[in-house]
Structure 1
Amino acid sequence: MAGHPQFPYALYLVISEAACAGRSFLTVAEQAIAGGVEIIQLREKTLPTPAFIEKALQLKEITERYGIPLIINDNLAVANAVGAFGIHVGRSDTPPTEIRKKWGTQLQIGYSIEYLSQLDTAEAETADHYGISPIFATPTKTDTVTEWGLEGLRHIRSLTNKPLIAIGSINQTNAAAIWQAGADSLAVVSAICAAPHPQKAAYELRNLILK
C-alpha cells in the first residue's frame, strides 16, 4: 500500500547529523534506504549554507545511487545547488508562493501545517504536499503550536486531497494507527536515526504500513 499517487513515498526519513546519535548520517541514511525508506529530507537548521551544501551533496550521492528523492529543509540556496527533488518549509520560512515564483515547478514544495486556518491560504494552495506537524509532540521540535493527534489528522484528511506527511514522535507503536487515520507518508526522525539498527527499524516501520 503506497501513499498518495502524487507522493508515492510511504516512509520518509528526516535526517540530521545531530539526530544520528554520534554515527555518520551517511551510513544511517544508507542503512535506512536498505530497510525501506523511500524519500529523505536533510534538515540542518543551524549550519551555514556552504557546509549545508557540502552535506547535501554527500547525501545526494547516496540517494541518487538508490533512486531516492532528496528534500532540503528550508534552504533554497542548498536545494538549488544540489538539484534537490524538493524543499520543505514551515510557517516562518520562505513562503511557498515565493518559491514557486522563483523556481516554477522545478521543486516539489512541502509545507508544514500547524493551524487549520493555514489550509485556506495561498501558501497552502501553492504547496504540493503538507507536513502535518506534529501528530504527537516531540522533543526534537520545541516550537510547535498544535499537537494534531489522530483526530486532527483525520479532520485535515477530510478537508484536502493533497498528500499528507505525518511527522512527530512516530514509531513502531503508533505508525499503523497514523497511517489508517489518513497519512500518505510517515516522516520519521529518532525512530530510525537513533535506533540501534536503522535498517531493521526502517524495515519494521515499512511493514507496519504495508499491512
Structure 2
Amino acid sequence: MQKALKEKGLAQSTINNRIQVVKRVLSLSYREWDWLDLPLDGKLRKPSPKNERHIYLTELELGELLEAVPERYKVERQVILLAMLTGMRRGELMGLEPGNVYDGRIVLRPNQTKNGKPRVIPLSDEAQPLVASLPFDTTGDKVRGAFEKAREKIGRPDIRFHDLRHCYASLLASKGETLTSIRDLLGHSSMTVTSRYAHADPTRWDGVVARLPRISNQTATRH
C-alpha cells in the first residue's frame, strides 16, 4: 500500500494520514462491527515522516518578505502579515469572520480548525488592526499569488506559505515561550509535533546544567 502511494508522489505525512484512516476502519471492523475475526489494525505501521520542513525565517527576513509583496496586493499583504503574527493556516485566515474576534483575540470554532477543536489566539498591537474589517476581500489563490511574487523577489523560492506558521512558533520559542503554550497556540494535538521548535531556545537548558554538582570538588570536601 505504502509503495503504491509513494509511486504516486505522495508525501510520507499524507500517506500516514491515509494509513490512519485504514487502521481506524480495521479497528471498528473487529471491535464494533464484528466483521473480522482478528484485530488487524496493529499490522499497519506508520513510518516517521522524512519530508518534515525546517525553514525558519528571522524577524529581519520576515520583514523583507513582507516588504516584497507588490503594492497592488494590499489585502493579501494583510493576510500574509497576520499569518506571521498568529501562525494561522491560510484556510483558517480566509475563513475569518467578525464573530471570530473577541476582546483582542481570535477565537476559532471547532469547524474552523484542522483538528476540530476550538482555539484562541491572542492578537498583538500590530495584528489587531488587520482584523478590523473581516472577512478579507480576497481569495486564497490571490494570497498565494502575492506570496509567491514576494518570495521570488527576495530570491527564496523554497519558502512556502505554511512555513510562516513554523516561523511564528520558532520566534515564540526563541523569546522563551514554553512548548506547551506554543502547542496550544498552534492547535497541535500532542507535544510530538511541537517539540520540533525546542531548538529555537538554546537558553532553556541553562537552568538545568546550573543544578549539576561540581564533581571535581567532591574529593576535596572529604579531606
Instruction: Determine if the TM-score, normalized by the shorter chain, exceeds 0.5.
Output: no
Relative to its length, the structure with more strand (as a share) is 1
Bin for the TM-score computed over the shorter chain: under 0.3
Larger Rg: 2
Greater RCO between the two (CA within 8 Å, min separation 6)?
1
Give the alignment's TM-score, normalised by structure 1: 0.26
